[in-house]
Amino acid sequence: MGISIVDALRSARIFAGLSDEELQQVADVADEVEFGQGHVLTEGGHVGSGMFVLLEGRVSVHARGADVELGPGEVIGELALLRRDARRIARVQALTPVRCLTISREPFRALIASDVHLAVALLESIADRVPD
């Protein structure tokens, strides 16, 4: 049996400060998807509508002239959860087959509107990831 969605979320730094109950709330608005090798998850300049949490596989992130490789537990596109017009800053492409969770903006917004503690914890985690 594979890792539970709650355990997968727990492994992502952005969700590190959440309780099991809060992680379950996030899991309830997440969908699991798979992409084949070579699939482009995000394209720089395009408007984003949500984020990805990598569960399995590796992706290449190309932003600002640099390439970075990410794997399980990493998060992509979290700023799209906060702004309707948030443009992707990176091209993210699957280097291997990838399994990930997706969290769309509207269910995320409804979730944080219903739980102030969860909202503060997630917003602090997202703010910590914003580049200077």
pTM: 0.82
Mean of pLDDT values over 79-88: 74
Distance of alpha carbon 107 from alpha carbon 110, whole angstroms: 5
At 109, the pLDDT band (50, 70, 90 cuts) reads: confident
CA distances from 53 to 36, 65, 76, 114, 132 (A): 16, 23, 7, 22, 23
CA-CA distance, 55 to 101, in Å (whole number)? 7
What domains sit in the chain, N to C, each tagged with a CATH number?
A: 5-129 (2.60.120.10)
What pLDDT score does 1 carry? 41
The string of pLDDT tens digits covering residues 34-74 is 999 999 998 888 878 788 999 999 999 998 888 899 999 88
* DSSP conformation class of 36: -
